[in-house]
Chain A
Amino acid sequence: MWRVSGAIGLLVPAAVLSAIGVVLLGRVGVAVAVLIVPLSVAFVLWYPRARYDRWRWRLTDLAVELDRGVVVRQAEALPYFRIQQIDVNQGPVDRLLGLASLQVTSASASGSVTLPGIAADQAPGVRRVLLARAAAAVGGRVDGVQDAV
């Protein structure tokens, strides 16, 4: 279920964006538009699917890990011990499709991990799991704890 809804969730914004792009470019010249339209349609059909296929997240023993990116591949990891904040976000499209995205933030400004397209009713559960693991990672060494920052 996450698969299908996730793909839709990524497809919709992409379609909206490319529609705007086509409208703007159509003014420049019909010739350009004729070229662009099939290309962008193909792109819209292919890219979200590819992006979705590449988007993988998992909870390992130590960290939240996320692999993503079609052109530029990225592998991100955020250890539970470093989790500072977990946000559940729902945009209008997300609400329409019953989805939510989870943003896990560390103390670093740039090192946050986003997990999009989680079914809305499951997002709080995922968050609870993450919080529990974060608490366990910190509480596991009460005898000599190191600050996370």
Chain B
Amino acid sequence: MSDAGFSAPRSLHPASIVLGVPLRQLIQGLVFPALIGAGAGPGPRFAVVVVAVILLVGGIGRLLAWQRFRFSFDGEVLRVDEGVLSRNHRALDVARIQQVEVDRSLVARVLGLATLRVETAGGSGEAEVELRVIPERDAVTLREALRAGKDAVTGAAAATPGGAVSGVGTADTTEPRDGREVVSMTLGRIVLAAVSGSRLLVLPAVLAASLQFLGDASELGGGSLDPETLGRRILALGIVGIIVLLIPASVVSATAVGVLRDWDWTMRRVGDDLHVSRGLLSTRDSVIPLARVQLVEVQRNWVRRGFGYAAIRVHSAGGGDDDRVTIPLVRDTEVDGLISQLLPGVAGVPMLRSHPTGARRRAVFRWVRASLVPTIALLAFPGLVGELRALGIVLPLIAAGLGLVEYGQLAHGRTDRVLAGRSGALSVTTGLAPLVKVQGVTRRASPFQRRLGLATLTAHVAGPGGDLTVLDLGEDAGRQLHAELVVAAADPYLPDIVSRQRRTVTPGQLW
């Protein structure tokens, strides 16, 4: 199909000699030798020489690397040749691609360049192929070519137009090229998402700590005003002041980061792919084929739960940790609709059944056990003030309370297409794994669980996003679910999902 002139080997844009180096690596590579040079050698002039030599050697290395780097795409296989001393040739079958991303950093945008990242379900967190940097136009064209190539191989769109049936309905052949917008974020939501984001969950802890200091400070002020007490008092007030200033500062910076990162956040459905674009200064376009979605998580931390909001994370099998796609903020009422878009054929979060009462004891036990170490440390450590000791006594009680809260949230459910599990006390996560993506099942039970008639079940899915774990469900329910999942995983034959992937797979080509 359209290989758009990529079949002949190409090199990257010359600017990649400079832009190809990640900033962090550059700083690490320069600052440490410079510091060591300045410290050990005869003064700052030596450091300048060291930096110059490193820059020169690094520059020559980059130049050679750029000269050696070649990539090509012939409609089926993406080939990359690289390496100065040890050569590396890679060939990537287009059918194995899990996720494609186009990144534009600020500098790259000014120069009209972009980074194209192609990910497969490899074990490493790094992208399988990273073209850093190529002209933006080429990046977009190549992405389209990869998609067209994939369609040609899977034969979904081109070969069998009538068979291009997705789980929710017939894929619209007259669909606009830009696709259909699934969800987008207004500025207000992005700000709200940033403010209610998980990083601010430390706020209560910071507040409590500052109150503790405040308490100490006021106590100290009661006695005689000898210089030493006065000094400690000023110090305590200073710390409180810094903390009080830090809180709004962290809110502002989190908001700024969130707005810069998620500006104009839009998710579109183009054919059978999800396109997500975001970012103000540096932008990122990700493409995830719907058939590659391994796990969807609905996350509600305590702030968001209070206001009726949630975030939705979409895990594919490719990519590192931060390459997962997260819908920053959606209303609770929108969750089911979005899930039906992300997981075709799934109407929403299925009916969840709560777990047997034995799970309550274990939830409390788990939380109290987690609080045991700080508690013992607080109680046994000599020379602590009374308030801290009191905290040591209160801590297990708080933990027990959280355990009760978590038991209220523990639940699981399944339909003929999806397995769902919910857990968490303050931050509640509901995971949904399509049954066709379950790779294997593990059921485990500790002695304590066995006595309470409980088991924990893990459905393994591909990718770095982790697995779906159903915590503390009943022993019999666990055994039954285990057996059902094995059958579903062994024979993921679902009529209307299969019909859109008409394709023969040879045993060696499982991906």
Contacts and interface: CB of A to CB of B under 8 A. Distances in A.
Interface stretch (A24-32, A103-111, A121-129): A103-111
A79 B501 contact: no
A106 B460 contact: yes
A79 B505 CA distance: 17
Contact of A111 (B121, B317, B440, B464): B440
Contact of A82 (B121, B439, B444, B507): B439
B460 A134 contact: no
B497 A146 contact: yes
A79 B504 contact: no
B493 A146 contact: yes
Interface in A23-58: none
Size range of the interface on A? 35 or more
Interface in A64-80: 65, 69, 71-80
A12 interface: no
B441 interface: yes
B361 interface: no
A80 B440 CA distance: 10
Interface string A74-92: 1111111110100000000
B246 interface: no
Contact of A72 (B291, B446, B499): B446
A80 B510 CA distance: 12
Contacts of A78: 439-440
Nearest to A76: B442
A138 interface: yes
A25 to B, nearest CB: 22
B507 A106 contact: no
A38 to B, nearest CB: 23
B47 to A, nearest CB: 43
Interface string B489-507: 1111110011101111101
B442 A75 contact: yes
Among A74, A80, A81, A109, the one with the most B-chain Cβ atoms within 10 Å of its Cβ is A109
A7 to B, nearest CB: 23
B501 A147 contact: yes
A45 B117 CA distance: 54
29 contacts: A72-B445, A72-B446, A74-B444, A77-B485, A78-B439, A78-B440, A79-B486, A79-B491, A81-B489, A81-B490, A81-B491, A82-B440, A106-B440, A106-B462, A107-B317, A107-B462, A107-B463, A108-B467, A109-B462, A109-B463, A110-B460, A110-B467, A111-B442, A113-B440, A144-B499, A144-B501, A145-B504, A146-B501, A148-B439
Given A62-B491, A71-B447, A81-B489, 10 more contacts: A63-B486, A72-B445, A82-B439, A82-B490, A107-B511, A108-B462, A111-B441, A111-B442, A142-B504, A146-B493
Interface of B: 98, 121, 123, 291-292, 294, 317, 436-437, 439-447, 450, 458, 460-464, 466-467, 482, 485-487, 489-494, 497-499, 501-505, 507, 510-511
Interface of A: 62-63, 65, 69, 71-82, 84, 106-111, 113, 131, 134-135, 137-139, 141-142, 144-149
